[in-house]
Structure 1
């Protein structure tokens, strides 16, 4: 991430896709250059390593870590607070200080070489759960790619816990709710399809939870009874199709669903357009004739 400052005045294609395709898409997206807006969002913190170049003054080139107190020490101007600034802002500060009696119209470039100050936590259905640093590509897809992508059992809806305080470990929903931490839900397929509102920027301290894909069951007169992953807007007809379709003995008009609500099981007649919910059991009975 490189920014230059001069002190001169004036200046849903994924529906039904196998999980490995989701991971491939995540991987390919992270090969693309970071969007300028995403790069500018990165805030320098302690332990980050920055490179500073003053054009035409090779003797002033420095690569240095930001101290634990958030400061850097630069020739001629002494200590400068870097923590809390973007690379653009830091370049502007250094240029202003150098122009104060040292260099005429200094051209300053600041590049973040190592990202160490900001961390996020990935949990759930990712291949390599753990703690990862926030880099210039600070969005949800890049964070998932750092953790090896979603597993084959990953669900579509990702939960992000954003605490309003400094944390040094992952948070669970049970911990977040009493503290009124911000809880954000985004849809992975929407993010992969290019929806920028779903591919949100991540922040220091975020806990990213990828839940297991919800499922349903199909039993009775279908070709392949069993358990199936539940995607958005799945209907009874779609569920039966996933189960290989009806057998010759099926009575589709008497199809019913067994569903648990508030701890109690209920059963009701369903038509082909009824929406399937997590945990549903779809029962296709045999015809009387």
Structure 2
């Protein structure tokens, strides 16, 4: 499907003009156009001299919501999108190949989480600072003094790890946790500035440099906020490659593994406890994925899943979201490679003994 056909869809929907039946796009083609980011839709329309306002009728939005959407710049685009010198997306020639998916083809689970490529990355500036946050060079501290008179100071930690508070002197705060830094300043004010009390909070956060290595989509060195976590670093790097492991993303600090983040815990359980906050010089290493198993048939989420450790058939069902209501659990099919040959056997998934059967790489479970 060419770009011109997509634009015919815009004209056909946005105006009452008569369109030749042969060039009239199908509903599926129109739906594909709707999936494009707003910036790409507008660039495509301008390229062929079509009024971008017609896109509002195509997308089924009101004029008020349209003007609001125009004010919000898209920051995430499909992978492989190129940008011109003005920062506008360049419309690819193979739109059909880019937006058409084969519904019969099973995909590896979890890789769509980072399928978009960020044009810019702007982490939240007003995120709460955890009490364990380690103060560092470049952080800004806001100190408010109350008493005989009110004073407010915005203090930046210098290269020696110190801040200088007028009438109080210099204090070394780098390396302290956020809570200890607050206690130190408040106690010093109470002891040395008679009649004053202090309220201490964080101002602007410093930037840190981290390295993303291994099977990242765009490995390299990145500058991120000091509150960034492993998952946010993956987002900055555009996600992971097609052969990356989602089960063992390692945070390495000074040559040691600080955390081993399993994205399946986040995707399947909502558990982000291992999604640690990064420090300057950290390395996020993404190894190649391990053995894979396929779960298909009457399950809620048929896909390919990565193994980690001694997972069983019960774990495979859990990965796939469980069975459909009409699945015949008493006679599921398990295909396994044994000495270079594929062996098919029947397993009873209503039996605890069968559910505890260990999985092996290359297994295909069909309900």
Give the TM-score range, shorter chain.
Answer: 0.5 to 0.7
Question: SS of the counterpart of 1:157?
Answer: coil
Question: SS of the counterpart of 1:96?
Answer: helix
Report matched runs for 1:9-88 at 5 Å. Answer: 17=109, 19-21=111-113, 34=127, 39-55=130-146, 59-64=151-156, 66-88=157-179
Question: SS of the counterpart of 1:114?
Answer: coil
**Greater RCO between the two (CA within 8 Å, min separation 6)?**
1
Aligned position for 1:257:
337
TM-score, normalised on structure 1? Answer: 0.56
Aligned position for 1:5:
none
Query: Match for 1:185 among 251, 260, 263?
Result: 260
Q: Is 2:245 the partner of 1:155?
A: yes
Once residues 196 and 157 of structure 1 are traced to their aligned partners in structure 2, the CA distance between those partners, rounded to angstroms, is 13
**Residues 230/209 of structure 1: CA separation in 2 closer, same or farther (3 Å cut):** same
Question: SS of the counterpart of 1:73?
Answer: strand
Aligned position for 2:195:
104
**Residues 213/62 of structure 1: CA separation in 2 closer, same or farther (3 Å cut):** same
Q: For each residue in 1:72-129, what CA deviation from the matched residue of structure 2 results, as whole angstroms up to 9, or x when unmatched?
A: 111011111011123332232222222234242413223141223x543222333443
**Residues 104/144 of structure 1: CA separation in 2 closer, same or farther (3 Å cut):** farther
Question: SS of the counterpart of 1:84?
Answer: coil
Query: Match for 1:113 among 204, 210, 213?
Result: 204
| C-alpha contact 2:248 2:287 (8 A) present in aligned 1 | yes
Deviation at 1:43, TM superposition (A): 0.4
Once residues 131 and 42 of structure 1 are traced to their aligned partners in structure 2, the CA distance between those partners, rounded to angstroms, is 20
Query: Match for 2:286 among 210, 225, 231?
Result: 210
Once residues 235 and 185 of structure 2 are traced to their aligned partners in structure 1, the CA distance between those partners, rounded to angstroms, is 35
Question: SS of the counterpart of 1:271?
Answer: strand
Two-structure CA RMSD over aligned residues (Å): 4.2
Once residues 194 and 263 of structure 2 are traced to their aligned partners in structure 1, the CA distance between those partners, rounded to angstroms, is 50
Once residues 120 and 197 of structure 1 are traced to their aligned partners in structure 2, the CA distance between those partners, rounded to angstroms, is 20
Unaligned 5+ segments in structure 2 are 1-106, 117-122, 295-302, 318-331, 348-356
| C-alpha contact 1:77 1:98 (8 A) present in aligned 2 | yes
**Residues 16/58 of structure 1: CA separation in 2 closer, same or farther (3 Å cut):** farther
| C-alpha contact 1:160 1:185 (8 A) present in aligned 2 | yes
Question: SS of the counterpart of 2:112?
Answer: helix
**Residues 95/184 of structure 1: CA separation in 2 closer, same or farther (3 Å cut):** closer
Once residues 89 and 141 of structure 1 are traced to their aligned partners in structure 2, the CA distance between those partners, rounded to angstroms, is 27
**Residues 97/255 of structure 1: CA separation in 2 closer, same or farther (3 Å cut):** closer
How many residue pairs get aligned? The number is 214
Unaligned 5+ segments in structure 1 are 1-14, 25-29, 166-175, 219-227, 239-251, 259-264, 283-289
Q: For each residue in 1:41-88, what CA deviation from the matched residue of structure 2 results, as whole angstroms up to 9, or x when unmatched?
A: 210112333333335755442242x22221111101111101112333
**Residues 32/144 of structure 1: CA separation in 2 closer, same or farther (3 Å cut):** farther
Once residues 85 and 254 of structure 1 are traced to their aligned partners in structure 2, the CA distance between those partners, rounded to angstroms, is 55
